């Protein structure tokens, strides 16, 4: 997804949101939000009393009633505007995606030949050929060939990525462009079910379902609304019994101030905006539940390679053994690497240049390069003078030298183990029957990872690193990166086992992955983040897909999830707390004329009963649009313990939720009192 973000107050989005605010006044739509539906019902009743004052016997209060109607109407409209604004941002993103989704011609393989068909005719299982410069007509997997693919239409990144048959980088997305070579692709989705189609549906909110936490909070708000509705309805006959006449508009004003309208008006917007923030981060969440679960994560499972480390082992030192010198080790290592195009091979030549060592390429001229094979675990070159140079795994090189009658230096194993214990990988360098030394390959930990894991620890999240390395190497990398635990020589089933173990203890677990072998663990985890560059199986098993294919982004996803939960909790606290001030404004105003002693509760010193009621209602209305930016942007999150976080939010949004309305209502009353 393109990372050019729409601003919060983009003119087109705001204009559309204003229009939708009125469209959403439809009672059928409003019934989905019980709190605001009650406000809308009260608005309609006050309107009828204003239009037909004779029928309701309220002829003397037409001006007051009309003012109450306008304030209540704007309360509902502001709540609708918050939701429409959040939806508008998602729809704007969907529109940009729809531009990249267009009908195109596909080269479908039919009976051994190629037939041009429309991309809309392709079905799951069809095979297409995509050449340089052509668009990939649908989601699929590369089954033949290798090519560079421009995925900027999806990820916003201009750098092409390599896609090839087999392995973990065979998945391709419809709407992306092949920029080199030619590939055969097996289509894996029917029309309307592609990756872009799902993205469009999710970001525009067409399939957004309320999360369990959101449903629970909605239930609480509905219950509070029902309780206060019963209180207000029963208050009228009780007041009449003691000869206090309470007008219906005043009772409706009391009800609206009692029920949690602030959070009721912002709740939906908070949920939509939370999904939107994840999407803007180039992560596609399959549901709001996944985002919320990320906020409650207790344990994080991380691969070492590509997540904690860069993933490319680079030569960092030449270590001689026996009576040899480092220069000799480097010279033979370079000769064995002259035709080696792997990252490790190129890094050997780079290290030679860095150390200022000479590299006599003439020795390797005409030699036959021996490629690395899994069976031999070595590579090298056979020189024209009959000598053979090899570099590879220490035990493999030892066996090769012994097979030719050579001897093993006494310090070889000790130096090899020392490199492994430091988190490196030792490669032995040998010429014929003699081992000259070791190449120290090091997979470097990414900068800042230790600090990021410290942040997770402050959040109360345990980190577990999974790696295929031996225990010594794994322990060193784990110590350097700062993870809490590690699993060495791990297999796919080990990941599932540790996830189930953590879940059995009542914890929520997150993990990242990109391969087919990661799919079972991604499905088992509460939050599974699959890489967009990975396999179809991994993406289907996960409940989030990272379009940038950055495995370490799971850390940001957790922060966004916590931010969503914090925002909802903070604004709920603020909404309930600010009702306290409204009670002190409106309740004394209702009863002061009949019960003068109630004036003692008018601690804000509000002008008149009428101005007090209107001031409380106006504050109740305007606080919703004032909080919209906070609901959309989210509460700023800082890693800290749950206890400190709770104390901080209670002080800011609890205490602040009590104080702010006192100040706000008083200021509004000073203006309203002059007006009336």
Residue range 187-203, pLDDT digits in tens = 988 877 776 676 666 65
331 annotated as a binding-site residue: no
- Would you say residue 157 has pLDDT above 70? no
What confidence tier does 60 reach under pLDDT thresholds 50, 70, 90? low
CB–CB of 247/610 below 8 Å? no
In the block, which residue shows the tokens 């009828």?
A: 48
391 annotated as a binding-site residue: yes
DSSP-assigned beta bridge partners for residue 127: 186
Instruction: Choose, from 150, 303, 526, 546, the residue flagged as catalytic.
Output: 303
| Res 127: pLDDT | 92
| Res 6: pLDDT | 42
User: Which position has the higher pLDDT, 174 or 226?
Assistant: 226
486 annotated as a binding-site residue: no
| Res 3: pLDDT | 40
- Would you say residue 545 has pLDDT above 90? no
How does pLDDT run across 581-617, given as a tens digit for each residue? Answer: 787 788 787 777 667 777 777 777 887 888 888 888 9
199 annotated as a binding-site residue: no
User: Which position has the higher pLDDT, 570 or 194?
Assistant: 570
| Res 503: pLDDT | 92
Non-local CB neighbours of 639 within 8 Å, separated by 6+ positions: 455, 456, 458, 459
What confidence tier does 649 reach under pLDDT thresholds 50, 70, 90? confident
344 annotated as a binding-site residue: yes
- Would you say residue 137 has pLDDT above 90? no
Measured distance CA(373)–CA(334) in Å, rounded:
19
666 annotated as a binding-site residue: no
Residue percentage of the chain with pLDDT more than 70: 89
Average pLDDT for residues 411-429, to the nearest whole number? 87
- Would you say residue 148 has pLDDT above 90? no
Q: Return the top range by mean pLDDT from 94-98, 201-205, 536-540.
A: 536-540
Phi, psi angle pair for 513, to nearest 5°: -175, 165
Residue percentage of the chain with pLDDT more than 90: 22
Average pLDDT for residues 231-254, to the nearest whole number? 83
Q: Return the top range by mean pLDDT from 215-219, 563-567, 641-645, 664-668.
A: 664-668
Measured distance CA(93)–CA(101) in Å, rounded:
13
What confidence tier does 1 reach under pLDDT thresholds 50, 70, 90? very low
Beta strands 378-382 and 283-285: pairing type? unpaired
| Res 163: pLDDT | 83
Phi, psi angle pair for 430, to nearest 5°: -135, 150
In terms of Cα–Cα distance, which of 323, 354, 317 is closest to 439? Answer: 317
169 annotated as a binding-site residue: no
* DSSP-based three-state secondary structure for 456: helix
Does the active-site annotation cover 432? Answer: no
What confidence tier does 4 reach under pLDDT thresholds 50, 70, 90? very low
Average pLDDT for residues 510-537, to the nearest whole number? 83
| Range in 306-315, 463-472, 497-506, 621-630 the model is least confident about | 306-315
| Res 8: pLDDT | 46
- Would you say residue 178 has pLDDT above 60? yes
- Would you say residue 56 has pLDDT above 70? no
450 annotated as a binding-site residue: no
Domains for the chain: give ranges and CATH numbers: 11-93+203-279+558-673 (no CATH), 105-202 (2.70.150.10), 283-308+446-547 (3.40.50.1000), 315-439 (3.40.1110.10)
453 annotated as a binding-site residue: no
| Res 71: pLDDT | 94
| Range in 101-105, 416-420, 485-489 the model is least confident about | 101-105
User: Which position has the higher pLDDT, 511 or 154?
Assistant: 511
514 annotated as a binding-site residue: yes
Sheet containing strand 368-370, strands side by side: 314-320, 434-442, 424-431, 388-393, 378-382, 368-370
What confidence tier does 415 reach under pLDDT thresholds 50, 70, 90? very high
């Amino acid at each position: 997804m393109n990372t050019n973000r729409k601003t919060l107050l983009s003119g087109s989005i705001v204009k559309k949101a204003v229009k939708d605010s009125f469209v959403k006044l439809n009672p059928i739509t409003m019934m989905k939000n019980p709190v605001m539906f009650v406000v809308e019902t009260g608005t309609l009743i006050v309107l009828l009393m204003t239009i037909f004052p004779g029928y309701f016997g309220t002829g003397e209060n037409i001006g007051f009633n009309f003012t109450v109607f306008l304030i209540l109407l704007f309360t509902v409209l502001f709540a609708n505007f918050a939701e429409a604004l959040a939806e508008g941002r998602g729809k704007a993103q969907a529109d940009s995606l729809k531009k990249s989704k267009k009908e195109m011609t596909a080269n479908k393989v039919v009976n051994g030949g190629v037939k041009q068909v429309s991309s809309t005719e392709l079905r799951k299982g069809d095979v297409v050929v995509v050449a340089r410069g052509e668009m990939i007509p649908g989601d699929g997997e590369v089954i033949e060939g290798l090519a560079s693919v421009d995925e900027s239409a999806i990820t916003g990144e201009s750098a092409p990525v390599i896609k090839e048959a087999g392995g973990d980088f065979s998945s391709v997305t419809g709407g992306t462009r092949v920029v080199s070579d030619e590939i055969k692709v097996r289509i894996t989705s029917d029309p309307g079910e592609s990756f872009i189609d799902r993205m469009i549906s999710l970001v525009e909110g067409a399939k957004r379902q309320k999360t369990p936490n959101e449903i629970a909070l909605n239930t609480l708000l509905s219950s509070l609304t029902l309780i206060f509705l019963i209180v207000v309805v029963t208050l009228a006959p009780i007041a009449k019994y003691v000869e206090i006449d309470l007008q219906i508009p005043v009772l409706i004003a009391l009800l609206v101030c009692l029920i949690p309208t602030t959070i009721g008006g912002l709740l939906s917007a908070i949920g939509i905006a939370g999904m939107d923030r994840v999407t803007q981060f180039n992560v596609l969440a399959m549901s709001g539940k996944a985002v919320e679960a990320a906020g409650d994560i207790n344990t994080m499972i991380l691969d070492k390679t590509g997540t904690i480390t860069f993933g490319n082992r680079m030569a960092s030192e030449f270590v001689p053994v026996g009576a040899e010198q480092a220069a000799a080790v480097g010279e033979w290592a370079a000769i064995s690497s002259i035709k080696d195009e792997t990252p490790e091979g190129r890094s050997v030549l780079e290290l030679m240049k860095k150390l200022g060592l000479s590299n006599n390429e003439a020795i390797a001229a005409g030699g036959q390069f021996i490629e690395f094979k899994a069976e031999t675990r070595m590579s090298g070159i056979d020189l024209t003078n009959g000598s053979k140079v090899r570099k590879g795994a220490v035990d493999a090189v030892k066996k090769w030298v012994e097979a030719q009658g050579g001897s093993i230096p006494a310090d070889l194993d000790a130096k090899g183990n020392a490199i492994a214990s430091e988190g490196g990988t030792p490669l032995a360098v040998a010429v014929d029957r003699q081992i000259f030394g070791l190449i120290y390959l090091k997979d470097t930990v990414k900068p800042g990872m230790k600090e990021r894991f410290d942040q997770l620890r402050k959040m109360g999240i345990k980190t577990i690193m999974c790696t295929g390395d031996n225990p010594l190497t794994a322990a060193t990398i784990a110590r350097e990166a700062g993870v809490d635990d590690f699993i060495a020589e791990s297999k796919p089933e080990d990941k599932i086992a540790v996830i189930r173990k953590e879940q059995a203890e009542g914890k929520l677990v997150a993990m990242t992955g990109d391969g087919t072998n990661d799919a079972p663990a991604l499905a088992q985890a509460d939050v599974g983040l699959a890489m967009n560059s990975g396999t179809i199986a991994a993406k289907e098993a996960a409940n989030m897909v990272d379009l940038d294919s950055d495995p370490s982004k799971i850390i940001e996803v957790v922060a966004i999830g916590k931010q969503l939960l914090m925002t909802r909790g903070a604004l709920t606290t603020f909404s309930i707390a600010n009702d306290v001030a409204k009670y002190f404004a409106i309740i004394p105003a209702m009863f002061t004329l009949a019960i003068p002693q109630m004036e003692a509760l008018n601690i804000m010193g509000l002008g008149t009963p009428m101005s007090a009621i209107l001031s409380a209602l106006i504050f109740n209305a305007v606080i919703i649009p004032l909080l919209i930016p906070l609901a959309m942007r989210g509460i700023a999150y800082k890693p800290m313990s749950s206890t400190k976080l709770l104390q901080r939010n209670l002080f800011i949004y609890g205490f602040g939720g009590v104080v702010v309305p006192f100040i706000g209502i008083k200021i509004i009353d000073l203006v309203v009192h002059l007006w009336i």
